[in-house]
Chain A
């Protein structure tokens, strides 16, 4: 994985029904860094993720993919983009093993590679003892880890995670973040959305969005220092004051 993938979102507008979900958002994501898209509920985070993935088409603006600075069509890179949706999107009646087997076939991973990958993933997620258990019977944290495993099966270059830690207990959340760090260390471009402001500080770059627009971008500490606040909660509160 010597190449470097970058994603540029330029002035994207998207209206869903009567809601202007994205109102000219511009962002830049680069390889090897943990990008956090931070914003309150309804800021447009999920719409942004879906637009980047081509699941929604922007009304205006563009989403561009680049490999070593050369533009790519989404189709060329689609196979190495993994996505973990926000909603519980796994199959409650299928076991962990059946999920892995299902996604292995969808991704067309050959048997030897799959065996190695499965072993490694079960090890880092510590889900090994539960492979026979149905997804519907897993705890919240384990369920999210299974979702992550399914996404990681194909060794992605880019990973989009939509609020992966939503509704997960604090200990599982920390475990989950440790997992993400290990992935970032391998040079995977990770984009994660969250409404938990404390998680913003765990990212290497944060993109604050509110009401479908980019509010601020940069390294977490730098952003806070620039705004003379001590937390992202305060930063957002100030944004609200400015807006109203």
Chain B
């Protein structure tokens, strides 16, 4: 066993020719990060705004109108008057509204006679991604409306001031786009590696390569190097677009972010290699790569669904997923400006997983054709 850079470099150069001449690989590698950042940045909006609100006002008094005005002027709701409580219900059934406000007759009278004026809010529970934010808005709108109607600030025994740290406006882009760094690297690294090594097995060139003096480690390093570069370019794309187009803050250390990226990339390249060594077929390798690389990166990394609210089993499962740890590093680097010590667990876990997966992949990569 004698590792020679010249042989690894020769294989890397050959692989670079493949990449540059294969439109699919190049388009995927360079187009995907741009496409994903723009899609997630523009199209997916977790902040709910302009919620269509069906309003039935049976009271038609100054008080009821003031309540409705408060909803309308909040910017979160589009008020749509309807003729009856039944029509309000229908508006939700027919998907014309997400919520309905029903103000019964005698609303103002109840208030003036010293009682509590009661109105009803109907929410479309079939879409629970909007219910949460709407409830939040309603609570504050209710407070504002009460204040306006009563015309004074009631003394409160307790006052809690809420301040959102790191993302004061709770902008969902700030939350999602750093996570794209993870998703983009996961797709590129696993998929492209799994495909390229499986291709070499499939067309028989691995047999020729193994019969040359090239050592397994040289083959691995040479084959993976171009994809490592592509992965880092993808990461750079995500970073540049996030900072320029979407004006995301970056409060942490670039060095740590890149270091985490490289660790994650190495882990996923090894995973792709392992998949292709085990399958030796492009078709199967591709499907396995999707399963093993992309699905955990999207669903179990905390990218969209918070890990803290997962059932215990999945919460523990995410700990063995490299994507979860790089997700933490990416988000904390962008938004919190965390230090190495603060992200110590994430780095340690990612490092350990990286070593384990590389070790398994290198072990499974055999220098023979035994089935």
Contacts and interface: CB of A to CB of B under 8 A. Distances in A.
Interface of A: 16-17, 50, 53-57, 78-79, 81, 83-94, 98, 102-103, 105-108, 150
Contact of B371 (A16, A87, A90): A16
Given A56-B369, A91-B205, A85 B211 contact: yes
Contacts, number: 74
Given A50-B369, A94-B17, A106-B10, 5 more contacts: A85-B207, A85-B211, A86-B204, A106-B7, A106-B11
A55 B213 contact: no
Given A85-B211, A93-B18, A94-B14, A55 B204 contact: no
A108 B218 CA distance: 13
B292 to A, nearest CB: 26
B339 to A, nearest CB: 44
Interface of B: 4, 6-7, 9-11, 13-14, 17-18, 21-22, 203-205, 207-208, 210-214, 368-371
- Max chain B C-beta neighbours (<10 A), residue from A85, A92, A94: A85
B5 to A, nearest CB: 11
A56 B18 CA distance: 29
B204 A91 contact: no
A85 B10 CA distance: 21
Nearest to A104: B10
A83 B211 CA distance: 7
Contact of A108 (B7, B368, B369, B370): B7
Contacts of B212: 103, 106-107
B6 A105 contact: yes
Given A90-B205, A102-B10, A53 B211 contact: yes
B17 A108 contact: no
- Max chain A C-beta neighbours (<10 A), residue from B4, B6, B9, B208: B208
Given A88-B204, A106-B214, A93 B7 contact: no
B207 A87 contact: yes
Contacts of B6: 105, 108
Nearest to B369: A55
A20 to B, nearest CB: 14
16 contacts: A56-B368, A56-B369, A56-B370, A81-B211, A83-B211, A85-B204, A85-B211, A88-B204, A89-B203, A89-B208, A90-B205, A90-B208, A93-B21, A105-B6, A105-B7, A105-B10
Nearest to A87: B204
Contacts of A78: 213
B203 A88 contact: yes
Contact of A57 (B17, B203, B368): B368
Contacts of B14: 91, 94, 98, 102
A163 to B, nearest CB: 12
A93 B213 CA distance: 23
A167 B327 CA distance: 53
A75 to B, nearest CB: 10
A49 to B, nearest CB: 10
Contacts of B11: 106
B205 A89 contact: yes
Contacts of B22: 93
B19 to A, nearest CB: 10
A89 B203 CA distance: 6
B213 A54 contact: no
Contacts of A84: 208
Contacts of B10: 102, 105-106
Nearest to B366: A55
B370 A57 contact: yes
Nearest to A91: B205
Contacts of A88: 203-204
Nearest to B22: A93
B208 A85 contact: yes
A17 B203 contact: no
Nearest to A53: B211
Contacts of A83: 208, 211
A88 to B, nearest CB: 6
A185 B17 CA distance: 37
A79 B2 CA distance: 13
Contacts of B369: 50, 55-56
Contacts of A108: 4, 6-7, 213
B17 A87 contact: no
Contacts of A16: 371
Nearest to A150: B208
Contacts of A106: 7, 10-11, 212-214
A105 to B, nearest CB: 3
A89 B368 contact: no
B208 A55 contact: no
Nearest to A86: B204
